[in-house]
Each structure stands twice: as C-alpha cells, then as structure tokens.
Amino acid sequence: MHTDQKINVTEKKTPLISLVGQPNSGKTTLFNFLSGKNYKTVNYPGSTVEYSISKILSKHAIDANILDSPGIISLIPSSPDEKISVNSLHSHPEFGTPDLIIVTVDSSQLSRHLLLVKQLKDSGFNVIVALTMKDILHKKGFDISEKRLSEMLGCSVVSIDGKTGGGIDKLLKSINENIINEQSGREINLLRLPHNKRKDSLLEAYREIESIEKEVLYSRNSDDNNKAVNLAKINEKLVVLNPSNTQNRPDQNTLALDKILLHKFWGLTIFAVVMSITFTLIFWLASPLMDLVNEGFTIASDLAVAALGNTWYGNLVSSGIISGVGSVLVFLPQIVLLFLILGLLEDSGYLARGAMIVDKPLSKIGLNGKSFVPMLSGFACAIPAIMATRTITNKRERFLTIFIVPLMSCSARLPVYALLIAFLFPPETPWLGGIAMTAIYIFSIASSLVIASIVNKFSNKLSGDSGHSSFILELPAYRKPKFNVVVAKTLSNAMQYVKKAGPIILYLSIILWFLTYFPNHSPQIDTEGKQEDEVSELINSERIATSYASTFGQFLEPVLKPIGLDWRVGVSLVATLAAREVFVSSLALTFRVTDTGDDMQSSLLQAMKNATIDGTDQKLFTIATSAGLIVFFVFALQCISTIAIVRKETGSWKMPAIQLVMFTGIAYIMAFITVNGLRLLGIN
Amino acid sequence: MKTAAELKPGEKAIIKDVNNDHPSAHRILEVGFTPGQEIEYISGAVFSDPMAFSIRGTIVAIRKNEASCILIKK
Ligand SMILES: Nc1nc2c(ncn2[C@@H]2O[C@H](COP(=O)(O)OP(=O)(O)OP(=O)(O)O)[C@@H](O)[C@H]2O)c(=O)[nH]1
Ligand SMILES: [Mg+2]
C-alpha cells in the first residue's frame, strides 16, 4: 500500500460528508431525509448516476455538506469508469475529500455490504455505518446487534428506517460527535487498496466479515433459534453442508415470485404483456382527463376573446398563447400516466428482472441487459436516459445504447402521435387508438434495435477500445410500490415536464403567432355579399398566406412536397427543433384555430381535415401523409438538449453529429416511402 | 469439475472455487460468490442465460459463461 494523499483538516471549512454504499442500499433515501431534497429513489441497483451535494437541513443543527454518490460494489475498480468513481471518492474534483463517510449497509444482506465498509476502513476513511432495510431483515426473522457490530467494526453503527426516517436523530448525534472529534486537527492518511493479490485479500476480508456476521446476526424469535439449533443437531449433515449462515435466504415472496416472473416461458410472456399493457393504457385511460383539460383551455380562450375583443392583442392571447400552450397541455394526462406506470415499475423491483430477461437478445446486437432501463426511461425523456447508461460498464455497449436511446418514443412525441392518431381514428373507438399507439411504440423499439444491430455490425469505431462484456446485476427484493410515493414522484415529474416544455411552447407560440399574423395584419378583401363568418375566414387565410411564416415556409416546399406536406407543416417541423411538442401548438397556429364555439382540439382536427394543399383541392392531411408524419417523428432527432447531452456523455461531437444526420435522413426517407407507398396502394 | 452453469433450477450447491482466469472473476468474488458459500439456482432467462442465483441473502443474476467460472460441489 502506498500513501495516496495527506489531508490536514485543521483549517476550518464546512465539513463534507459523503454517502457511500453498494447500489440500491438506500443512499439517496437517506440523502433526501438529511437534505430535505426529493431526489429519485428507485428499486433498481444504479438509479443514481450523478453526484449531488446539499447542505444538511438547518433544523438538524449540523453545519455540513452532504454528498450523494452512485453506488459502488468495491473500492477496487474493475473498469475505467469505476476507477473514476473510486478516485472521486478519495478526492472529488469539485468537492474534495470527505471528512466523514456514511456507508449505507443493507442489513438483509449484511455480509455482501460489509465488504465495502471493510475496504473503506482499511483505506483509512472516517466511517459511520447506517444500517438500512431493517424491515426486510425482520421479515426474514433476523435482527442485528448494533452494539456488537459497532464494537467489532470499530465505528459507530446506526439503524435507519428508510420508510419513516426513524433513526435519523441518532445518526445526527453520531455525526456531531464524530465531526467534533475530527475537527480537533487529526491527520488522515488515505491508502489505496492494492490491486495485486486481489483474490487472496478478498477472501481474507470475506472470512473476517463472516465471523462478524455470525456474532451480530441473531434470530429474532429465541424459540426459532432453539428450533434451528435442535434441527441442526438432528441433521448434522446440514451443518457440515452449511458452514456459513445460510439461514439468511433471500426474501421468500421474492423467491416465489421469481419462480414465475423469471420462468423460461411465463417470464417472457408476462414481460411482453406488461409492456403492451403499459402503452395501451396510456392512450385510452387518458382520454377522459384530456377532455377536462381541453374544456378548461377552451373556456379560457373564449373568455379572452370576450374580454379583449377581436383585436390583434385579443388574437395574440386567445390563438397565440392560450390555444398554443393548451394544444400541448391537452396531452399532459397521457404523459402523467406514462410517468405513473414507469414509476410503479421502478418501485416494484421488476426493472432488474426486465434487464435480465432481455440481456441475451440485446447482447446479440451489441447491447447489454443493462441497456434496458435507459431504453425504458427513454420513453419519458432521452436526457436522463442517456445519463442512466453510465451503469453499463462496457464502453462499446454503453455508446451503442446512447446511440439508440433518442429513437425511443419520448414523452415529447406523445402529443404529436396522439394528435395524428386522433386524426386517423374516429373518437368512438378509443381502443383502436390504443392499439395504434402500441404499434408506434413497438415500431420505434423494433427500428432502434435494427439500427443498433446494423451500427454494431459495421462500426467498430463507435467507441474504440471495448473490453469484455459482462452482466452481473443484483435482483432486489420485490416490494409493493408505495402508491402515494409513486404518485408524488409522478406529479413532480409532470411539473418538471411542464416547467421545461411550458416556457418554450409559450415563447414559440408567441413568435409563431407573430410570424403568421404579420406583416399583412389587416388584409383588404372584397366583402360584398358575404356572410360575417366567411369574411373573417377569408381575412384569416389571406393574412396567413402573405405572412412572414409563409414566405419562409416557401423555401421548404421543395423538400416537403415529396412527403406530401406543405409549408405550414414545414414551419411547424422547423419549430420542433426547440421541442417536439411544439409541433402541435404550431399546427394549431398555422392552421388558424380560431375558436368558433367548438372546443380547441376538435377544431384543430377539423382544420386539419379541411386543409388543402395550396391552390388545389387535394387534401393535405390524408391517411398517407399522417402516417408519413408519424414515421418521420419516430426517427427524426429534433431535440437540441439530446444533442447536447450526447456530446457531454461521449466527450465529442462525433456521435451527436452522426445521430443528427443519420436519424433525420432515415426519417425523411422512411416518411417518403410510407407516403408514396400508401399512395401507390391507393390509400389516401 | 462441475460449475454453477450446470445447475438445474431449484438446485443448491456449495462453491468450491472461482476460476481466476475469467475476466469477470474478481467482480464475481466481490459480489459474494466466495468458496464455502451456498448458492441456489433460482431461475434463468431464455436458454438459461443469464442465470439468477441466491447468494448471501439476496439474488444476483450473472451470465451463463460467468457462472461457468464458479466451481461447485453438491
Ligand atoms: N424496505 C425498505 N426499503 C427501503 C429502505 N430504504 C430505502 N428503501 C428503498 O430501497 C430502494 C433503493 O433506495 P435508494 O435510496 O434509491 O438506494 P441508493 O443506494 O441510492 O441506490 P443507487 O442510487 O441505485 O445506488 C428504494 O426503492 C427505496 O424506497 C428501508 O429501510 N426499507
Ligand atoms: Mg441513489
């Protein structure tokens, strides 16, 4: 061992407390209790991928920063990425070396988690152990003697109840005592664990841990204990066969469930059913809620017209702002449902099983079972999904996953699909829409897999050096999702969605309104012998035909004609570069949805039905062009934030550039094939 | 020598050794598959790959070829 660094903690600075522990051991849960924050906790090993720092809540009366970190299995890194994590633990580039480490230890699998504690102590860190998941251990009929464990480890041990926050006060007391001791100017010498002779020292460490486990773990029911001893006496062979504490079996319900959910045949069937139900539900459960939102915005828009009159600013508020923003928010219920179902899946513990089930097929095309969770969260949003790929240790597999995640149908595409589906299928048959929605999702998954396998075949240069492929994943105990927690999480996700997309939609709606309203804001037309309705319609169409947006859109026509679209859709497509959902609001604007009593969405649908290609009688939105648009949205990379995060996570512009060109190219070609193929078949 | 990859669902065994030559060997040791431990093969995905084992109070899934570096006795 060599001395890595010397830190003198005499200088007074705010102490740094790092939360360290195995994946899924309850770090983030504890972090939230201490900091009052609300970071995502998921029953999947590897839910946290970024460091987050916060002050400890002032009510706890400790002046210290607390750092949440991604889970680690061992202090001896197995990959370059893990090496970075271990280095950050010793000395984080931004936050420095921790004055104190709180290690979360899942008490229901004590020996596995004590390994890290031992390594941290051996490296010379100042450590407090937080025992989590006591409830699971109790359910197994065991308990832990904290006092004994603390003596044997030589550091404080505190139990934390992850559900109620019980034990936090004790933990704070320990922290306080510990930090006061530390501040007295002791030098910490941190050591790096040796990399050689890993196996021997590892086995030695485990032997030590096992002897600790035997001392501190006891059966809660002394009767049981006697029974076990008696049983052992009767069956001596059992004792010989089970030298270690094998009564500590995995959670019984989990074992029983896994016999079914991981069954060769049933496992796969259930997996397919779960996934299809998810997407079908999203569509038809949402419609009553959507009607509600729709009505709300229609009323608001009418009120605006009534209050401001038929003036340019009245028009700005009613058509520009209210129906622009409203046309997108109508689809919020679907997005909420998507988040809700994903949240339930995350909390149940099923995700890890999903990852295991798809590992084999995914590994055939150069991905990994661990690509599953990033791909699934790509249905909500590509940004966190791309960050979640950090749990994939193999670089090549990780890069390939990043490559295809933007093809997952993110929630921003949901409003677009929902609108086009509503256009294609009559409202009396919501189940047809549900099926269509499921089909789009399946199509997007299938295409992404095809693209992955092609890229995997032909590009060895995506990531350079690869290393060997591996899949080692803990399958955490199933638990009943805590419904109120999931609902709270869903609502906060939905709020974030609105906060992120809302302003963009608002600004773009105003800009687009401007571009479609000016310069010819009050065109002169011949009003003789015409009804008032007719007149205002003529004014509208004349105004927009001579607007800035139209002038700009004419440039796009040559590109759009082959896929059956005109400049109005083109302007909307350009607007989607800011955010895909803007497509819907800008369609609403360019097709001049003026409220004539009808509610907003159906009037947009009506306007789409009536729209004709400039100067002809040919309908603009047909089955062929709508299907073509859907296909376009499945592939096209119309999201600046995605491009930015891919750049950040891969460290170069290469991948986002390839993605932009390739996906947008495929989108155009596929849309062309769809539109013209359907036309050839006589479907129009 | 039998390996964990050859177990049938529901079968238990004691680990004898872990083959050092496998690139995942160390990680496999670190997650708790050490000599002397009892494991049970719970269930596998299609083609029994990956395989889920009970180990040290939890369940860990590993690929079949990774399981084949775990030497066992029954
Ligand atoms: N039953 C039980 N569950 C808990 C307890 N503490 C946390 N959990 C749950 O365990 C799961 C994992 O908790 P997290 O706090 O996300 O764990 P983590 O250590 O941050 O995990 P990673 O970020 O993946 O490394 C979540 O579903 C929590 O709700 C506890 O004391 N008992
Ligand atoms: Mg976490």
For ligand 1, atom 16, name the residue with the nearest CA: A41
Q: Is the pLDDT of residue A163 over 70?
A: yes
Q: Which range, A18-32, A88-102, A448-462, A574-588, has the best average confidence (pLDDT)?
A: A18-32
Give the pLDDT of residue A599.
60
Residue A663 CA to residue A667 CA, distance in Å, equals: 6
Give the pLDDT of residue A196.
59
pLDDT above 70 coverage of chain A, percent: 85
Max CA distance (Å), chain B: 29
What H or E segment, with its residue span, contains residue A55? strand A52-55
Which residues 81-100 on chain A approach chain B with CB closer than 8 angstroms?
A: none
Residue A239: band (very low, low, confident or very high) from pLDDT cuts 50, 70, 90: very low
Nearest to B15 by CA among A472, A246, A247: A246
Q: Is the pLDDT of residue A220 over 80?
A: no
For A391-427, how does the pLDDT look when each residue is reduced to its tens digit (9 = 90+)? 898 889 999 999 999 999 888 888 888 889 888 887 7
For ligand 1, atom 24, name the residue with the nearest CA: A46
- Chain B: nearest CA to A454, how far in angstroms? 24
For A61-84, how does the pLDDT look when each residue is reduced to its tens digit (9 = 90+)? 888 999 999 999 999 888 878 888
Q: Is the peptide bond before B50 cis (omega within 30 degrees of 0)?
A: yes
Q: Name residue A128's amino acid.
A: I
The more confident residue out of A184 and A92 is: A92
Which residues 3-62 on chain B approach chain A with CB closer than 8 angstroms?
A: 9, 14, 18, 20, 23-32, 34-38, 42-50, 52, 54-62
Structure tokens belonging to residue A55: 């002050």
The SS3 assignment for B52 reads: strand
Residue A559 CA to residue A409 CA, distance in Å, equals: 24
Taking an 8 Å cut-off on Cβ atoms, the answer to whether B45 and A267 are in contact is yes
Give the pLDDT of residue A521.
67
Which of chain A's residues have a Cβ under 8 Å away from the Cβ of B27?
73-74, 78, 470, 472
For ligand 1, atom 14, name the residue with the nearest CA: A26
Residue A321 CA to residue A331 CA, distance in Å, equals: 16
B71 interfaces chain A, CB cutoff of 8 Å = no
CATH topology of domain B4-73: SH3 type barrels. (2.30.30)
Taking an 8 Å cut-off on Cβ atoms, the answer to whether A475 and B52 are in contact is yes
Taking an 8 Å cut-off on Cβ atoms, the answer to whether A111 and B38 are in contact is no
Q: What is the overall mean pLDDT for chain A?
A: 82
- Model confidence, pTM: 0.84
Give the pLDDT of residue A237.
38
Give the pLDDT of residue A379.
86
The more confident residue out of B64 and A238 is: B64
Q: Is A324 in the pocket of ligand 1 (CB under 6 A)?
A: no
Which of chain A's residues have a Cβ under 8 Å away from the Cβ of B24?
468, 470, 472
Give the pLDDT of residue A170.
93
Question: Hunting for tokens 């600013």 — which residue is that?
Answer: A313
Give the pLDDT of residue A243.
39
Residue A286 CA to residue A665 CA, distance in Å, equals: 33
Q: Which range, A188-192, A249-253, A529-533, A600-604, has the best average confidence (pLDDT)?
A: A249-253
HSE value, Cβ hemisphere, 13 Å, CA-based, for A595: 31
The mean pLDDT value for A365-383 works out to: 90
Residue A490: band (very low, low, confident or very high) from pLDDT cuts 50, 70, 90: confident
Residue A183 CA to residue A14 CA, distance in Å, equals: 11
- Domains of chain B by residue range: 4-73
Q: Is the pLDDT of residue A360 over 90?
A: yes
For A615-669, how does the pLDDT look when each residue is reduced to its tens digit (9 = 90+)? 677 788 888 999 999 999 999 998 888 898 999 999 899 999 999 999 999 999 9
Q: Which range, A110-119, A170-179, A410-419, A516-525, has the best average confidence (pLDDT)?
A: A110-119
Q: Is A47 in the pocket of ligand 1 (CB under 6 A)?
A: yes
Q: Is the pLDDT of residue A197 over 90?
A: no
Give the burial string for B11-46 (b: 16+ CB within 10 Å, else e): ebbbbeebeeebebbbbbbbbbbbbebbbbbbbbbe
Output A481-488 pairs: Cβ under 8 A, ≥24 positions apart.
Answer: A481/A343, A481/A344, A481/A347, A481/A348, A482/A163, A482/A347, A485/A347, A486/A340, A486/A343, A486/A344, A486/A347, A487/A340
Q: A4-222 — its CATH code?
A: 3.40.50.300
Q: Is the pLDDT of residue A21 over 60?
A: yes
Tell me, in angstroms, the distance from the centre of ligand 1 to residue A350's CA: 14
The mean pLDDT value for A438-456 works out to: 91
Q: Name residue A534's amino acid.
A: E
Question: Hunting for tokens 């997407």 — which residue is that?
Answer: A279
Taking an 8 Å cut-off on Cβ atoms, the answer to whether B57 and A248 are in contact is yes
Residue B15: band (very low, low, confident or very high) from pLDDT cuts 50, 70, 90: very high
User: Is the distance from CB of A103 to CB of A21 less than 8 angstroms?
Assistant: yes
Residue A556 CA to residue A565 CA, distance in Å, equals: 10
Residue A622 CA to residue A603 CA, distance in Å, equals: 17
Q: Which of A393-397, A492-496, A548-552, A599-603 has the lowest mean pLDDT?
A: A599-603
Q: Is A481 in the pocket of ligand 1 (CB under 6 A)?
A: no
The mean pLDDT value for A600-611 works out to: 76
Residue A128: band (very low, low, confident or very high) from pLDDT cuts 50, 70, 90: very high
A684 Cβ contact partners less than 8 Å away, ≥ 6 residues apart: A619, A622, A623, A624, A678
- On the 0-12 / 13-18 / 19+ scale of CB atoms within 10 A, A572 is buried
Nearest to A519 by CA among A566, A555, A551: A551
